[in-house]
Amino acid sequence: MLIDLRSDTVTKPSPGMREAMAQAEVGDDVYGEDPTVIELEQYSAELLGKEAGLFNPTGTMSNLIAFLTLTNPGDAVILAEQAHIIHYEVGGLTRVANILPLTVPGILGKITEEDIWARYNTGEDVHHAPTTLVSIENTVNRGGGAYYDYEEVSRIGRVCRQLGLKLHCDGARIFNSAIACNIEARYLAEPCDLINFCLSKGLGAPAGSVLCGSKELIQRARKFRKLLGGGMRQAGVLAGGGLYALKHHIDDLRKDHERATIFRRTLEEKGWFFPLPSPTNILFVRVPNAPKFVQTLQEKNILINAVLDDYIRIVFHRDITDTQFQYVLETFIKLS
Ligand SMILES: Cc1ncc(COP(=O)(O)O)c(C=O)c1O
């Protein structure tokens, strides 16, 4: 049996989740008649401390909808060079939302209030696109699962308000961040006008993301979802899985973090090098020849991704059993 550590997106619905999906009441969600989608959207909004939620097919679409909702074509957005939106979302922000990314190097893919002051343009100068939006990612995928804590997001929120900028959070893994910070996710969402989180990563649902914000913004976002072809019909079958994940799986993310810590500590003792901190469920590890290492592990039934010639990425998630985790650990130790 393959042990898949390429990403937490590979998680499959648990038996309880499959049952919830099978039992979900459905209706036509484009008509606003799917009771399970409505329940998921309300439940998500409450968890994130916002007025309303919008169930979207993917995180990529959710982020794009957020950008369309919060900007006008020709605006500029400040975000980190390492943002998932920059690297893995097909440039939708430029191609579809027609906005200019102003990227900042950041540390671990995080931006600071100083970065915002430095990059911000009012647009009054004839040369400049007006900056109207800041986008952060929490946790940061390419930052080794680094997270913004409450103080950091609050400080960013304060600067945004001072400068009249909107704030979006790609919170694909916001519950990992909340667990690492030991606070409710709503506090991390507080300064954000819109926040997206994914149901289909470590939470284990087969599909779906929820964008949360004020009623007014979510109403606007709903129209953009339709424009992008994301209006689904009997989506309650999927929303039922998402609701189950929110009610039963959030706390399990803690175990993924614990495993990342055990894995790292054990291997560091054997001389392995981890180039980034790994406070949540994502680890980068240095190996002499990443493609070859990936192949060696595949022969031992372990799947991982090479990120550079000499780095691999490992993501712990709920579908790894204790026995599998031990096997992975022992395999790495043997390769030391
Ligand atoms: C930080 C982050 N944002 C957004 C996404 C996009 O989610 P999706 O794959 O559902 O489009 C991902 C996916 O891995 C992600 O890691």
Per-residue pLDDT tens for 41-78?
A: 999 999 999 999 999 999 999 999 999 999 999 999 99
- Is 188 within 8 Å of 138 (Cβ atoms)? yes
Specify whether 226 is located in the same domain as 294: no
- Is 170 a pocket residue for ligand 1 (Cβ < 6 Å)? yes
Specify whether 262 is located in the same domain as 225: no
- Is 263 within 8 Å of 278 (Cβ atoms)? no
- Is 305 a pocket residue for ligand 1 (Cβ < 6 Å)? no
- The rounded distance, in Å, linking the Cα atoms of 139 and 136 is 9
The CA 301 to ligand 1 mean position distance, Å, reads 25
The CA 201 to ligand 1 mean position distance, Å, reads 8
pLDDT score for 292: 97
The DSSP annotation for 134-152 comes to EEEESSBGGGTSB---HHH
The CA 55 to ligand 1 mean position distance, Å, reads 15
In angstroms, the Cα distances linking 23 to 20, 146, 249 are 5, 37, 18
Specify whether 128 is located in the same domain as 198: yes
CATH number at residue 180: 3.40.640.10
Specify whether 189 is located in the same domain as 318: no
Answer yes or no: is pLDDT of 191 > 90: yes
Domain final residue, candidates 210, 228, 248: 248
Specify whether 220 is located in the same domain as 133: yes
Specify whether 215 is located in the same domain as 118: yes
Per-residue pLDDT tens for 164-181?
A: 999 999 999 999 999 999
Residue minimizing CA distance to atom 7 of ligand 1: 59
Percentage of residues of the chain with pLDDT beyond 90? 99
- Give me 87's structure tokens: 């690297």
Strand order in the sheet with 311-315: 282-286, 311-315, 305-308
Answer yes or no: is pLDDT of 1 > 90: no
Domain final residue, candidates 248, 270, 304: 248
Per-residue pLDDT tens for 205-215?
A: 999 999 999 99
- The rounded distance, in Å, linking the Cα atoms of 110 and 104 is 9
Specify whether 275 is located in the same domain as 169: no
Q: What's the domain range around 323?
A: 3-8+252-334
- The rounded distance, in Å, linking the Cα atoms of 319 and 303 is 13
Helix (H, G, I), strand (E, B) or coil at 231: coil
- Is 58 a pocket residue for ligand 1 (Cβ < 6 Å)? yes
The CA 118 to ligand 1 mean position distance, Å, reads 28
- The rounded distance, in Å, linking the Cα atoms of 33 and 38 is 8
